[in-house]
Every structure is written in C-alpha cells, then in structure tokens.
Structure 1
Amino acid sequence: MAPAPWNTHTVEFGPDIVTKRFRPGARGRCAREWRALTLLATHAPGMAPEPLAVDFEATEPVVVMSRLHGEPLRGQVLDTVRTASLAETVAELHTAVPADVLAHLPPRPEQQQGVLAFVRTWAPWVRSGAGDRVARAMDAGLSWLARSTLENAARPRVPPAFGPGDGNLANYLWDGTRVRVVDFEDSGSSDRAFELAEITEHVGSWVETPLDVAAFLGGFDLTPAESFRLSECRRLLALVWLLLLCRDERSERRNPPGTADRQAERLSDLLVRPSGTE
C-alpha cells in the first residue's frame, strides 16, 4: 500500500533476468518478495517471475528473478478481454497459496490496522493545509471512519487470501494472452475485499485511463460480508489516497495538477453509496 516510502528499491533489467536491489535495512521487503516468488513458483507457476537467487545479507539486499515480458496495464485502455484477464489473474492470485500455508503467513504490511495508523498520524497535518474541497471530503471521510466497522480491531469475518500488497496496475503485465504479476515486497496474508479495494482505489486505476471498476469487480463472486467489507475498504483507501495526494502536491509532484481535488470527488461519491453496493 502506498503509505510505505516511495522509493524502496532499484531494478536492473537484463534480457531474461531482473535484479531488484532494496534500500539498506529493507531485508523485510526482500524477504517478502522472495517468499512470495517461491510460493507462487510452487503453487501457481507462470503467474509471477521465477525466483533465481537472493542475498538477504548484502548492504542492499537483492532478489534475482526471471523477466516477464508484457505491457503494464496502467495507462492502457483496458478492453473487455484485458479486464476479464486481470480479474482472472487476481482471483487466482488470491487463492494460489494453499489454506494450510496461508494460515502461517504473516499479515501483509499496511493492511487495515497499518492503514488506520497512517490516517491517524497524517490526517491532522494534511488537513491543516488542505483547500476547501479537499478539506470537506477529508472531514466527511474521517467522520465516516470514526463510526465505521473498520475501527474495530477484531479480525474481519471474511476468508483469508494471499495479498500481493500493491494495487498499482503497473504491476500487472499483459503478454497478449494473459495477465501476470510483479512486485511482492509488501505481500502476505490479507483478504479479497481489501486487495480488490487496493486495485480499484489506487490512483493508477483512474488518473490516466480509468479502469472499468464494475466490469472488473463483476469477475468476483463475493459473499455478502465481503461485499460490505469491500465498500468499507474502498472508502478507507480512497481517504488514504486523498491524504497521499495532498502530501504529494506539497512535495515532489507525481501526478497531474488537480489530482487531489479529483480524489476528493471520488471519496465523496463513495461515501454516499450504500455499503455493499459496487
């Protein structure tokens, strides 16, 4: 999830291999990347890069993996074939790790409790310098959050799922036949609703060429509890992105001018929808 530091690694591309070097002290990220690649190579071969080598003890921990060739979905106009393939891959990813293995997998970083902590830490500072439109949306989001079910620290009553940890469509590659996945440094145990919200609410899913959210989510047969949680998680992550985009505009801009105002509109729209409807 985006509250993590922006630049956590560098990537070197060879013809057939990729070398991912993590910043000093990022052994946890390196370990999660390697663990996910080895799990997926065993249980869903071909979905992700093949793990080739790892060095946890280097000053800059490193993972070497096979190179996947394909076009990142971010910024592309996704036709029905690509949208359906994205949904199929994400669904397979969620269930790729067997239940007995998943039961011992640590929760992925920046899952619900981590995101809530980020909101509590950053909201007062971001709110103090926000424009009127953003401030109104932020206040509405914080008011909703205070009375939401998400503030309950109990584990969600939904089945666990493997979570890749980053909803950026740049991490999903279309190779002409199927969608495959890269970037697992924040992976771990999660649930489908949270992971789907990660994708639909990521700025990369709408700031350039919008993902057809209804068509994408239509590829998942969610339980009523998951549908309700998806609505809640979409609101939460839309609020997080509003904070991030405001912070972005005060420092190094990574998105077009006015993106924070557009995000305020997205959050406001999600807040007025009945929970459980997508």
Structure 2
Amino acid sequence: MAGQSSTHVVTMLPDRVVKTYASWSRGEHEQEWRALNLLARYAPDLGPRPLEADMYAEPPVVAMSRLDGVPLRGQTVTAEQVKAMAEAITALHESVPASVLDGMAPSPWNPGVAVAKARRLRAQEPDLGEGPLVKRAFAAGAEWLDSYPLGRLTATDFTPVLGLSDGNLANYLWDGRRVRMVDWEDSGRSDRAFELAEVMEHISRVDGVFDGAALLAYAELTVAEAARVLDLRRLLAFTWLCTLGPGGLFSKRNPYGTLDRQADRLLELVS
C-alpha cells in the first residue's frame, strides 16, 4: 500500500510538474528520478519526461513534463480504458532489459514486505468492529494466511520488470486515447504477477467502478503466474481488510460501506 500518506507536494505549472518531497527516507526522489530516466530511454510514451532534479536539496525536488489526462480513480473505468491500461502495463513490463533490472533494488512495496505486513496485522488481530461478515472474512483470511506456504510469494524466480508498485488508480491517466502513468516514487524491480495483483486489489477501486478481471484477461500469463496473481490478491485483500476497521489507518478515507465490501471481496478470493 505504498503511497497512501502525503509524501510530496505537487506544483502544476503550464509546461511542467514540480514534485517537492515531504519525506524521502526511503529514497523516494531517487526512485522516481531513476524511473523517469528509464522510461525516457526505453518507453517514452508511458510517463512524464524527466526535466531536472536536485537530489541533494532538503527537501529534494524533481521536475518532469506535464501530462494531459484524467485520473481513473473515482471513475467508471470503461472497457476501452481497461484495454488501454493493459497495453500500458504490458508495454512497461516489456520495456526495460533484464540486464538493467538485475542491477536495481526491489521496489519498496514488494511481496516480501507485503507478507511481513500481513503477518504482523494478523498477529495484532486489529479492531474490525462487530459486524459478522467482517469477522467471518478476517477468520477466513487468517486461516488462509496460516496455512499457505508464504515463502512461495517471496520467490525471486520470476522474470523481473520495472514496476510502478502502486496500484492506486489515481496514478493512471487517460487522455482520451491512451493511458500513461505517474507517481514513480515507489518504483523498482518487481514481477508481473505482483504488479497486476496490486492494481486489481488496491482499495482505490471502491471509489468508482473497475473490472480488474477484465484487465487480467489481457495479460498473457503462464500457469504459474496466474496462480501467483491469485495468491497475491488474497494476501493484499487480507491486508486491506485489516486497515479498514474503526481504528484503522484507512477507515475514514474511503466511502461508507468499504469495510463490508472488502470483506465480501476477501471471502470471494479465499473461498
């Protein structure tokens, strides 16, 4: 769930966007600048162009070109837009050579971090209220988490890709013809299955209408990747459920009924 707190201030100028980082302890500015330069070299139509940066300022600043488009978060994402998303994600994942990716660190939000977070939340048994549906979903998710060999999800024997590693639909801009991506501060080496699962299960989907299954249908996954996507979706759905209770970090940031909707989602995935 990277990118859920305010980590930067964005200044929109006529010809550029200037991002000033409010926090940068995880190297957010470096990750963004690196990704923008990789895109400029290998996939120039997928994101902003890097213009200039001051990596050593406090706070750091990155300037990039300004993209036209409307964020897909909060929208009814049409079939045309889903197809454009799939094309953009596929192009991204096919763009950067493995020889370049091999020298990159994993993205800060990755399967290993997600597994650790899910385990921590499960052990804490967060306050999710008294709703029977939500209690049933937590129990089912916890049972799956306790019985599943989670080491499979942290395996590194999958083809690496450059990952945005933030499934927030606000990061996907539709200009009427294509989709491009912004906010690369959590980017890094990832794998296709994790990236697809992150988009499908990000809680931003509840702000509008988004058919993640339609997105997945465009991906030509191997049998192993398809199974991995499903298990990563279960992991991420459980983690989101644990953060949406009355005392959770995201309880007040989403529409009324989000917790029950997430409970239904998790039960559907683990059934």
Unaligned runs of 5+ in 1: 273-278
Query: 1:78 Cα deviation (Å)?
Result: 2.2
Equivalent residue, structure 1, for 2:71: 72
- The letter of the residue matching 1:147 is S
Equivalent residue, structure 2, for 1:234: 233
Query: 1:244 Cα deviation (Å)?
Result: 2.2
Query: 1:52 Cα deviation (Å)?
Result: 0.8
Q: Separation in 1 of the partners of 2:149 and 2:248?
A: 31
Q: Separation in 2 of the partners of 1:80 and 1:36?
A: 28
Distance 1:53 1:247, change over 3 A: farther
Alignment length, in residue pairs? 270
Unaligned runs of 5+ in 2: none
Q: Separation in 2 of the partners of 1:46 and 1:251?
A: 33
- The letter of the residue matching 1:215 is A
Native 8 Å contact 1:30 1:56 kept in 2: yes
RMSD: 2.0
Equivalent residue, structure 2, for 1:18: 17
Equivalent residue, structure 1, for 2:187: 187
**Among the aligned pairs, what percent are the same residue?**
46
Q: Separation in 1 of the partners of 2:154 and 2:267?
A: 27
Native 8 Å contact 1:11 1:20 kept in 2: yes
Equivalent residue, structure 2, for 1:117: 116
Equivalent residue, structure 1, for 2:168: 168
Q: How does 1:137-216 map to 2 (within 5 A)?
A: 137-152=137-152, 155-205=155-205, 207-216=206-215
Q: Separation in 1 of the partners of 2:127 and 2:44?
A: 48
What SS does the corresponding residue of 1:196 show, helix, strand or coil? helix
Native 8 Å contact 1:84 1:219 kept in 2: yes
**CA shift digits 1:119-162 (9 cap, x unpaired):** 22233445345433323212211211222232347524322221
Q: Separation in 2 of the partners of 1:261 and 1:29?
A: 33
Q: Separation in 2 of the partners of 1:251 and 1:242?
A: 10
After TM superposition, the structure 1 stretch with the greater mean CA deviation from structure 2, 189-198 or 237-246, is 237-246
Query: 1:178 Cα deviation (Å)?
Result: 0.8
Q: Structure 1 length normalisation: TM-score? A: 0.90
Native 8 Å contact 2:171 2:181 kept in 1: yes
What SS does the corresponding residue of 1:246 show, helix, strand or coil? coil
Distance 1:149 1:124, change over 3 A: closer
Q: Separation in 1 of the partners of 2:225 and 2:98?
A: 18
**Is the counterpart of residue 94 in structure 1 residue 93 in structure 2?**
yes
Equivalent residue, structure 2, for 1:31: 30
What SS does the corresponding residue of 2:157 show, helix, strand or coil? coil
Distance 1:126 1:10, change over 3 A: farther
Query: 1:165 Cα deviation (Å)?
Result: 1.3
Q: Structure 2 length normalisation: TM-score? A: 0.93
Native 8 Å contact 1:27 1:61 kept in 2: no
